[in-house]
Structure 1
Amino acid sequence: MQWKSLLASVLVAPLAHALIRFPCSQLVTERSDPLVTPGIVSPHLHQVVGGNAFNFTMDPSNLDPAKAATCTTCRFAEDKSNYWTAVMYFKHPNGTYHRVRQMPNHNTGPGLQAGGMTVYYFQPRAPTKNLNIKAFAPGFRMIVGHPYRRADDIPTTSPEYRSTSYRCFDESDPGNNGVPGFAGDSFGLPKKMCPEGIRSNIYFPQCWDGINLDSEDHASHVAHPAGPASDGLQIFGTDCPDTHPVRLPLLFMEIIWDTRPFNDKSLWPTDGTQPFVFSMGDPTGFGQHADYLFGWEGDSLQRAMEVCTGGDGIPWNCPVLTTQDMDTMNSCRQANKIDEIVENQYIDRLPGCNPLQDGPTSATAIENCDAASTWTAAPTPTAAPALVTPPWPVCWDGPGPAPNGLAPLCDSKPTKANSGPLVTPPPARR
């Protein structure tokens, strides 16, 4: 049985990292990005997970997601944060595009999440000197990655170089379980068919200036640890730089793209390139990026960092947090509020103004196309994406205990922490 996740690689060490790890289903897929383009329709499509207070503005001066959200798509009920990433598409030889669905990760059951991602919060360990971890504060937000990037142009000595990468899953692959972004992984989209799908690996910076909850570029108030990159448990290095001395939890995302339906050689380009593109018109994968907006209730994340110091990543082994069952997670939905088709069928072009730009020079914004630029009040949430059965187990069904302690038991009983209506009130018409 293969455990192709970061969790598997960290547990081979004698002293595992303390962490929490949990799945989040998809909340909505639309052209919204309240960090980069607050109050307007985003140039490109994102898939969003987390609390249903998510909106086009997310103004921290008048919105506390932890209080405003009535449900969350994440396993822990206290996490009303929002996490979002670009969307992957398959380009057909005839020039049309079909969204690539996400599938559940290893050991994220019981139950199958509807789209979404797996979220990790790691705690630092020695020899790092910054061991006094401080949880994110209300109003905190940050981004990682560069959507216009189209070349492998970050110095390999920079910790940022490994902040986004990919893993190509082979059938019954017994290896390649190392730390994401190191041996076996690629920094652009894999140029070969991946029998069991492609995983995006995304690390956020771990060091904070201790003052600013955000910055103009949504990145300068945070930094990666200084020092040479390590392929061990330090991930990017060791100590925080003096400019950003406060150690944060290491936020890490895994998104597994179900590329299996497109593993037909007749559908692939004949020139040796690969057919997958991101929603910002990126066929290289170097523009992979992600956004985070903090929304944990009260001091719940800080308590989890102090109490949940095991290394198995099984949510209900963190006693200070409340777990939800998968049906509750999948039922937390938002309506698509932009009048455009983004998934479940082939479309003539990527949503927004996003022609393919393959570099190696950086992409440029395209304006004044006829894409929808306003949103409307939508009466009901959009249906949840169809459940995808992955080619690996999501829980352990016996007999006996799980062989390596990583898998949750299939008869685990998370609580239905959220009850009542899960429909998000629609926004006012613009």
Structure 2
Amino acid sequence: MKWTFPIVLALCAPTYSLLRFSCAQLVIDRLDPLVTPGMAPSPHLHQILGGNSFNITMDPEKDMPGESTCTSCSFSEDFSNYWTATLYFKAKNGTYKRVTQKPNVGFDGVNGGMTVYYMQDGLYNFNQVSKVTAFKPGFRMFVGDLNAKTKEQAERFRQLTFTCLQNPSTRDPQILDFPSGPCPEGIMTAVRFPTCWDGKNLDSPDHMAHMSYPETGTFESGGPCPATHPVRVPQLFYEVIWDTAPFNNKDDWPEDGSQPFVWSFGDATGYGNHGDYLFGWKDDALQRAMDSPCYVDCPTLKRQDVAAQNKCTVERKVNEDIDGWADALPGGHQASYVKKRWT
């Protein structure tokens, strides 16, 4: 699976159909207003980005962009919220330490967070030859299965992957579970959401049923949407770079040779990779961008500087230590392994 376009296309003229931008860290907290609204603390820890109206409930009836006064993302009209679980290192002595995020290529100075993409056309066809319908106010979705423990279970979701970074530009190979050996420049996780909408529901009980993958292939291969989900929406996906390099000394790894990284909900296989999204673009800003021949920058959108991104934060609601070494993950979770030995 090739995924090298951010580096290659940066050398080309900006006539392509793709937004690529950074979102700095808004907050790291044990909240999940999509899956467990109103619960504080939520079952596991998340890293959250985007508009500062993020809260425990995120009532879909409210005007989220209107309530935000800033965003940690590059485009100042994007008050959406994006989040994933956090990553931890489990040392030989059984204690845990949170792994921080670092900015992607081209986004120096951004405080952690991740890179967000919205694509109008498939991976190997960047000239804008088709149209997509932007998400609507109140739209939200989830992708992945935090209970997945096998490759077969993870394969239900077509493109939730890991890349062991040999250098900042590494994009392949992409695998479904945690890398088994040390990664010199960290571990990149990719979370790609389905791209076909039923055209009616802004959400569903499992936050996934109103969305579908293409009937065949993937968004990148130009697969058609199924009749049940006929509306083609942008390819939204996240790239998160976890700074695992400080933990690459194998003398600190488990004695049995198993890889030492674990999601904040206890999954040490990596198969539980997942992501959450709450749409919050102001007015028709996203649709205007999707209708324009944008590549990274877009003349229809307002961009803010890195200092403004980093300044937009909210206070944590759950008071617990998330930075020191701990005997258990936040919420009392312990690593659950399907052993994978380093060779």
| Residues 220-229 or 234-243, more deviating | 234-243
Q: Which residue of 2 aligns with 1:331?
A: 311
Q: TM-score, normalised by structure 1?
A: 0.73
State the Cα distance separating 1:7 from its structure 2 match. Answer: 1.9
Residue in structure 1 matched with residue 35 of structure 2 by the alignment: 36
Q: How far apart are the structure 2 equivalents of 1:218 and 1:104?
A: 29
| CA contact 2:199–2:229 (8 Å) conserved in 1 | yes
1:123 aligns with 2:120: yes
Alpha-carbon distance, 1:146 to partner: 0.7
- Shift in Å at residue 155 of structure 1? 8.0
Alpha-carbon contact 1:17-1:122 (below 8 Å) kept: no
Q: For the residues of structure 1 that align with 2:53 and 2:4, how far apart are their CA atoms?
A: 30
**Counterpart-to-counterpart distance in 2, 1:257 and 1:293:** 23
User: Which amino acid letter does the alignment assign opposite residue 214 of structure 1?
Assistant: D
2 CA distance for matches of 1:6 and 1:252?
14
Q: 1:151-162 counterparts in 2 under 5 A?
A: 151-154=150-153, 160=157, 162=158
| CA–CA separation in structure 2 for the residues paired with 1:81 and 1:340 | 26
Letter in 2 for 1:102: Q
Q: CA deviation at 1:15?
A: 11
Give the aligned partner of residue 213 of structure 1.
202
Which residue of the partner structure matches residue 306 of structure 1? 291
1:280 equivalenced with 2:265 (yes/no): yes
Residue number in structure 2 paired with 1:294: 279
Report the Cα offset of residue 124 of structure 1.
2.1
1:86 equivalent in structure 2: 85
CA–CA separation in structure 2 for the residues paired with 1:239 and 1:96: 47
Shift of 1:236: 5.7
Equivalent-residue separation in structure 1 for 2:6 and 2:331 (angstroms)? 36
1:170 counterpart (144, 162, 166)? 166
Partner of 2:331: 352
Residue 114 (structure 1) aligns with: 111
Q: Distance in 1 between matches of 2:168 and 2:58?
A: 43
**2 CA distance for matches of 1:218 and 1:287?**
16
User: 1:17 and 1:243, CA in 2 relative to 1: closer, same or farther beyond 3 A?
Assistant: farther
Which SS does the other structure have where 1:26 is aligned?
Answer: coil
Aligned length: 334
Deviations 1:58-110 (A, max 9, x none): 0112x21110000000000000000000000111111111110100100124x
Match of 1:202 among 191, 196, 199: 191
Contact 1:131 1:247 in 2 (8 A): no
Aligned to 1:403: none
Partner of 2:52: 52
Q: Could you tell me whether the CA contact under 8 Å between 1:85 and 1:291 is conserved in 2?
A: yes
Q: Which has the higher strand share?
A: 2
Deviations 1:363-409 (A, max 9, x none): xxxxxxxxxxxxxxxxxxxxxxxxxxxxxxxxxxxxxxxxxxxxxxx
Distance 1:155-1:144 versus aligned 2 partners, 3 A rule: closer
Secondary structure at the aligned position of 1:329 is classed as helix
Distance 1:29 1:172 in 2: 24
1:359 CA drift (Å): 5.1
Secondary structure of the corresponding residue to residue 272 of structure 2: coil
The alpha-carbon distance between structure 1 residues 239 and 12, as it changes in their structure 2 partners (threshold 3 A), is farther
- The 3 A distance-change label for structure 1 pair 269 and 333 is same
Contact 1:104 1:117 in 2 (8 A): yes
Q: What TM-score does the superposition give when structure 2 sets the normalisation length? A: 0.91
Q: Which amino acid aligns with 1:346?
A: W
Letter in 2 for 1:245: P
State the AA in 1 paired with 2:302.
T
Distance in 1 of aligned mates of 2:213 and 2:204: 16
- Whether the 8 Å contact between 2:144 and 2:154 is mirrored in structure 1 is no
Q: Distance in 1 between matches of 2:322 and 2:75?
A: 28
Render the CA deviation track for 1:252-277: whole Å, top value 9, x for unaligned. 10000001111112111232211010
**Structure 2 gaps, min length 5:** none
Identity %: 47
CA RMSD of aligned residues (A): 2.5
Q: Secondary structure at the match of 2:246?
A: helix
Whether contact under 8 Å (1:224, 1:236) holds in the other structure is no
8 Å contact kept, 1:145–1:163:
no
For the 8 Å contact 2:131–2:291, the answer to whether it is kept is no
Secondary structure of the residue aligned to 1:57 is: coil
